Amino acid sequence: MTAFPEAHPPATPSEHPPVVLIHGGNVANWMWEPQLPAVADRLALTPDLPGFGARAAEDWPGLAGAADDVAERIRALAGERRVDVVGLSLGGAVALHLAARHPELVRSVLVSGAAAVPLPRQTRLAARAQLALWGMRWSWRAQAAVYGMPKEARRAFVEHGVTLRRDNARAMLDEVFSGALPQDLRDYSGRMLAVVGEKDHAVMRASLDRIQMAVPHAETRTAPGVHHVWSIEDVEHFNAMVVAWLQGRIDGWLREPELVHL
């Protein structure tokens, strides 16, 4: 696949803070292409995490190491300017670690589908089966269907998936599936919004409460009618949510979450 740029300058000179978009697992920074028009009024950074995209050959450094890597890219591309951070799935977990480890860089955090409680045994078993079929294109196509991806997004997902290292995926999944939040997250004082798709896994929905326990001032919401990777599934509403958040608002389309019992 052709490398996707990690820095996207604003369409016109801008005083808005940069926004950093952190991709999910099993994808890379190209997943954010549908969001770029919505943030064209500011510098947008879409770094590849180690082990993904153009960096697929690199070792996965763990969530803390990935957060430190993103911090280095922010300083290299945006200087010491504070940034708004958006992360989905794995990117959400990295965003939370970034806020905990580098709060001086982070103005606000918006995460969707970030696991903050341990995933159940059946999900872990399914992941092991996925690892056994790691190089099979049909397996990646099946995953894309489960995620609710539109057909036009599935080809890139499959083509990228077969480039990923199995050992990196195993290490990343083991860490993410533990649902552990960074200890210093409770000290983060910036704005935070944690969102989950209404049709996402119950663990992701239960994670909203766990995030709010760790960061009492965080806002939590549910996105109606969507699955885990809804940045691609429902571009219009995802982009509206991001734009509202960057403007200091919470999009009224989002709903107050319901309590989830696991």
In a domain, 172, yes or no: yes
In a domain, 257, yes or no: no
Q: What average pLDDT does range 148-155 have in this prediction?
A: 70
pLDDT at 201 over 60: yes
Average model confidence (pLDDT) across the chain: 90
In a domain, 256, yes or no: no
pTM metric for this prediction? 0.91
Q: Out of 48-57, 102-111, 133-142, 242-251, which region has the weakest mean confidence (pLDDT)?
A: 133-142
Distance CA 194, CA 26 (A): 21
Q: Out of 36-45, 150-159, 238-247, 251-260, which region has the weakest mean confidence (pLDDT)?
A: 150-159
In a domain, 169, yes or no: yes
Pick 155 or 189 by higher pLDDT: 189
In a domain, 199, yes or no: yes
pLDDT value, residue 105:
97
pLDDT value, residue 142:
76
Beta strands in the chain (DSSP E): 7-8, 19-22, 44-45, 83-88, 106-112, 191-197, 219-223
pLDDT value, residue 150:
67
The tens digit of pLDDT for each residue in 46-72 reads 999 999 989 989 999 999 999 999 999
> How many domains in the chain?
1
pLDDT value, residue 15:
93
What confidence category does residue 40 fall into, taking pLDDT thresholds of 50, 70 and 90?
very high
The tens digit of pLDDT for each residue in 207-246 reads 999 999 999 999 999 999 999 999 999 999 999 999 999 9
The tens digit of pLDDT for each residue in 115-137 reads 999 877 777 677 676 776 666 67
CATH code of the domain containing 152: 3.40.50.1820
**Are 225 and 236 within 8 A, CB to CB?**
no
Closest listed residue to residue 258, CA positions, set 189, 202, 214: 202
Beta bridge partners of 84: 19, 108
Q: What percent of the chain has pLDDT over 90?
A: 66
What is the Rg, in whole angstroms, of the alpha carbon atoms belonging to the chain? 17
pLDDT value, residue 92:
98
Backbone angles phi, psi at 22, to 5 degrees: -105, 120
What confidence category does residue 86 fall into, taking pLDDT thresholds of 50, 70 and 90?
very high
Distance CA 191, CA 243 (A): 15
pLDDT value, residue 147:
65
* Domain span including residue 98: 7-246
In a domain, 176, yes or no: yes
In a domain, 147, yes or no: yes
In a domain, 262, yes or no: no
pLDDT at 1 over 60: no
pLDDT value, residue 159:
72
pLDDT at 2 over 60: no
pLDDT value, residue 186:
95
